[in-house]
A = this chain, B = another copy of it.
Amino acid sequence: MLPQSRFAPLPPFAKPVPGGLTAPKGFKVAGVASGVKRKGKLDLAMLLSERPAVSAATFTSNAVAAAPVRLTRESSDCAHLQAVVVNAGNANAVTGKQGLADAARMRLLTANHLRLPVEQVAVCSTGLIGVHLPMEKIERGIAAAAAALPAGGDVAAAEDFAAAIRTTDKHAKTGALDVALPEGTVRLGFAAKGCGMISPNMATMLCFVTCDAAVSGDEWTTLLHTAVDRSFNRITVDGQESTNDTVLGFCNGASSVRPGTEGLAMLGEALDAALLALAVSIVADGEGSTRTMRLTVTGAKDQEGAEAVARAVANSPLVKTAFYGRDPNWGRIMQAIGQALGREGHTHLPAGIAYEDVVIVEEGHPADLDEDHTARLHEIMHQPEIDLTVALNGPGEEATVYFSDLTHAYVTLNAEYST
């Protein structure tokens, strides 16, 4: 089922349903074990829209983009994709010409099996950087996935797909929604992965979206890009943006429901909520993470300034370790704000800081907390999700980010996860 978060409430007309990526009509998926991962773990996934679809894609802005990202971005038709092949365990990044050739071969084999032109197939990889793909295993995996695909229209297949794209994720991140539009009911399906190397601008993060509404390519692109901007581009685990991030959305019209202006807005609202729920679940599942913070910065001089302050706080290891220690150490928040403002040449700028409903800094000065407020603050620091507000005294631009704490487990995972 779709992950839940108080930060991402579903609109009343959207209802979780089983089936993940296969809940919308006309999609088949498969997840198989190619042998790249050990112990027969699922590690290769495939998705097919049985009919032509409109599609939209967003990719990492990391200049060292992985081979599958470069191949798909530069030589697939990202507005008319009908299938994607995904492997986990090996990122096919920093692998030079051989890596590009391997990604192209993954695409060609998938296209041949599915009888599609190569331009309608996307390729994604996630896992270790700098190691060539074991192509024999990958090729056998692609054949097995293609063979499994015709039967892949049910809940079990969707779960296999979601499992096969995982790396260090503790939980599979998948779900589906019934969306009751004025024109009729359509469905959205989701599968995502990601938990480390996560930063605003989408880090080792893959997300696949299916939809059976009948919308135009432009409409679908707007819906998906808007939802990504409001979700995956607003999360950070460790400030690191990966070489492989990709969000792909397929919309095939199989429901025959054609939303009008109001219906489109409602579909967008449901998509926003679902991607935000998935994004927050990536933060909650962030490597070693024990809690998730939503930070809203208000009163900045401009959008860029609001973003800079929000990210400085969200990526500060001092702030993140304080949340791990359940310590409302607002001094570190002030320090991070000041560092971001200092870079932009601001002088001393008073700020307000609130943890949920407890105002802890007012006009740049520590507030005097009475016993009740101190007790409430203690309670807040033990919540799994904490809402933070930073008020600058500027004109009023805002930005929101979602971030995790920094823990011993993060260090353990990343000191031991080896090349």
Chain A interface (Cβ < 8 Å from any Cβ of B): 60-65, 70, 91, 93-96, 128-131, 196-197, 199, 238-243, 315-318, 321-322, 324-325, 327-332, 334-343, 346-349, 351, 361, 364-366, 406-408, 410-412, 414-416, 418-419
Q: When the two chains form the complex, which single residue of B130, B325, B365, B406 contacts A331, counting CB atoms closer than 8 Å?
A: B130
Q: Which of A61, A130, A335, A410 has the most CB of B within 10 A?
A: A335
Q: When the two chains form the complex, which single residue of B94, B95, B130, B318 contacts A240, counting CB atoms closer than 8 Å?
A: B318
Q: Establish whether residues B411 and A338, one from each chain, have CB atoms under 8 Å apart when the complex forms.
A: no
Q: With A and B bound together, what is the CA distance between A351 and B130 in angstroms? A: 13
Q: How many copies of this chain does the complex contain?
A: 2
Q: Establish whether residues A342 and B418, one from each chain, have CB atoms under 8 Å apart when the complex forms.
A: no
Closest to A341 in B: B63
- B contact residues around A330 at 8 Å (CB): 130, 419
Q: Establish whether residues B61 and A343, one from each chain, have CB atoms under 8 Å apart when the complex forms.
A: yes
User: A348-B70, A364-B94, A406-B411 known; A64 and B129 CB under 8 Å?
Assistant: no
Q: Establish whether residues A419 and B331, one from each chain, have CB atoms under 8 Å apart when the complex forms.
A: yes
- B contact residues around A196 at 8 Å (CB): 318
User: A63-B342, A318-B240, A341-B63 known; A335 and B414 CB under 8 Å?
Assistant: no
Q: Establish whether residues B64 and A341, one from each chain, have CB atoms under 8 Å apart when the complex forms.
A: yes
Q: Establish whether residues B62 and A338, one from each chain, have CB atoms under 8 Å apart when the complex forms.
A: yes
- B contact residues around A348 at 8 Å (CB): 63-65, 70
Q: Which of A322, A366, A414 has the most CB of B within 10 A?
A: A414
Q: Establish whether residues A129 and B419, one from each chain, have CB atoms under 8 Å apart when the complex forms.
A: no
Q: With A and B bound together, what is the CA distance between A325 and B414 in angstroms? A: 8
Q: When the two chains form the complex, which single residue of B199, B241, B338, B415 contacts A65, counting CB atoms closer than 8 Å?
A: B338
Expressed in whole angstroms, the minimum distance between the Cβ of A359 and any Cβ of chain B is: 14
Q: Establish whether residues A334 and B240, one from each chain, have CB atoms under 8 Å apart when the complex forms.
A: no
- B contact residues around A322 at 8 Å (CB): 414-415
Closest to A405 in B: B415
Q: Which of A63, A241, A315, A341 has the most CB of B within 10 A?
A: A63
User: A63-B347, A334-B94, A406-B411 known; A317 and B419 CB under 8 Å?
Assistant: no
Q: Establish whether residues A334 and B414, one from each chain, have CB atoms under 8 Å apart when the complex forms.
A: no
15 A-B contacts (beta carbon < 8 Å): A62-B339, A63-B339, A64-B337, A93-B334, A94-B366, A197-B335, A239-B317, A240-B318, A240-B335, A240-B339, A241-B335, A317-B406, A324-B415, A328-B419, A406-B411
Q: With A and B bound together, what is the CA distance between A343 and B61 in angstroms? A: 7
Q: Establish whether residues A316 and B411, one from each chain, have CB atoms under 8 Å apart when the complex forms.
A: no
User: A240-B316, A414-B325 known; A331 and B128 CB under 8 Å?
Assistant: yes
Q: When the two chains form the complex, which single residue of B94, B317, B346, B410 contacts A238, counting CB atoms closer than 8 Å?
A: B317
Q: When the two chains form the complex, which single residue of B327, B366, B418 contacts A415, counting CB atoms closer than 8 Å?
A: B327
Closest to A324 in B: B415
Q: Establish whether residues B197 and A414, one from each chain, have CB atoms under 8 Å apart when the complex forms.
A: no
Closest A-B pairs by Cβ, 5 of them: A64-B338, A129-B331, A325-B415, A63-B341, A321-B414
Closest to A336 in B: B240
- B contact residues around A94 at 8 Å (CB): 331, 334, 361, 364-366
Closest to A288 in B: B411
- B contact residues around A315 at 8 Å (CB): 239
Q: Which of A129, A241, A339, A348 has the most CB of B within 10 A?
A: A339
Beyond A65-B348, A238-B316, A243-B335, 8 additional contacts (C-beta under 8 Å) are: A63-B338, A94-B331, A94-B364, A95-B365, A240-B316, A317-B414, A407-B411, A410-B411
Closest to A366 in B: B130
- B contact residues around A241 at 8 Å (CB): 335, 338-339, 342
- B contact residues around A342 at 8 Å (CB): 60-64, 241
- B contact residues around A407 at 8 Å (CB): 411, 415
Q: When the two chains form the complex, which single residue of B238, B337, B412 contacts A318, counting CB atoms closer than 8 Å?
A: B238
Expressed in whole angstroms, the minimum distance between the Cβ of A309 and any Cβ of chain B is: 10
Expressed in whole angstroms, the minimum distance between the Cβ of A71 and any Cβ of chain B is: 12
Closest to A94 in B: B334
